[in-house]
Amino acid sequence: MKPFGERLYAAMEDRGPLCAGVDPHPALLDAWGQTDSATGLERFALTATEALAPHVAVVKPQSAFFERHGSAGVAVLERVIATAREAGALVLLDVKRGDIGSTTQAYADAYLDPRSPLAADAMTASPYLGFHSLDPLLETARAHDAGVFVLALTSNPEAPQVQHARTPDGTVAGEVLASLRELNAGEEHGSFGAVVGATIGETEEDLDVGGPLLVPGVGAQGGTPESVRRIFGTAVHRVLPASSREILAAGPAPAALVATARATADAYAALLT
């Protein structure tokens, strides 16, 4: 199997640059006429996945919204992952894990080892116990041609306290980006990406890490193709825009979900050139 970075770029060229989130938030369940229960979760998540996965490059389930329903919710998450992959989409599991030692390895085994029923093509991770605390995730990803997206510059208002903090070599976020750049060295399309919000505004950081840039916050949260192009500059061809709320709000009709996803992908297609 080709490395994740190569598979991702091929999927973006073929299906358009879009990561469609599957976030079964209670308010969205209600908007779709579903109960906030494992049954409502299953109907919502599988409807969205079955509609979107044949058309988008990446499907991104947000694990927390499944976990809140206990073992029944995790079982639904397993079905979502399998359904998306069967339809040809790559699966990015949004779990934002970050720990140390054997615990990090256990997360890697759960989310990146093909023998696990929760195995995805890539996962999100938090580096704030120290970047090298992620080494088990990164090594497992390499072993299985998977990917890891590491939080770098996020849009939440609390982020600057940590991400903009100064170090002898720059900022914490800058060190995260530099570490990813080192991991991807020598690869045209590296498999280790950064998470950078679409609404962070101007930044002096070098955002080209040699791998993909997962960019949440497009659409309903305010990010536009113009603002993304301005923020990412010469690294814009590496951007994978992520949208969940705007796409899912178009449901529950599958045709409406697909139409909204296609319109979003088309709006960002020029970024790849």
Q: Is the pLDDT of residue 9 over 80?
A: yes
> Average of pLDDT values for 102-110?
98
pLDDT band at 247 (very low <50, low <70, confident <90, very high): very high
% the chain with pLDDT above 70: 99
Q: Is the pLDDT of residue 220 over 80?
A: no
10-48 per-position pLDDT tens digit: 999 999 999 999 999 999 999 999 999 999 999 999 999
Distance CA 3, CA 157 (A): 34
Q: CB-based burial of residue 14 (10 Å sphere; 0-12 exposed, 13-18 middle, 19+ buried)?
A: exposed
Q: CB neighbours of 53 closer than 8 A, spacing ≥ 6? A: 59, 83, 84, 86, 87, 88, 89
Distance CA 5, CA 158 (A): 30
122-152 per-position pLDDT tens digit: 999 999 999 999 999 999 999 999 999 999 9
pLDDT of residue 24: 97
pLDDT of residue 270: 83
> Average of pLDDT values for 204-230?
90
159-183 per-position pLDDT tens digit: 999 999 999 989 999 999 999 999 9
96 is catalytic: yes
Can you give the pTM of this predicted structure?
A: 0.96
Q: In which element (H, E) is residue 101 found?
A: helix 101-112
Q: Is the pLDDT of residue 201 over 90?
A: no
79, 85, 96, 237: the active-site residue: 96
Structure tokens at 18: 């879009």
Domains and CATH numbers, the chain: 4-198+211-272 (3.20.20.70)
Q: CB neighbours of 79 closer than 8 A, spacing ≥ 6? A: 42, 45, 46
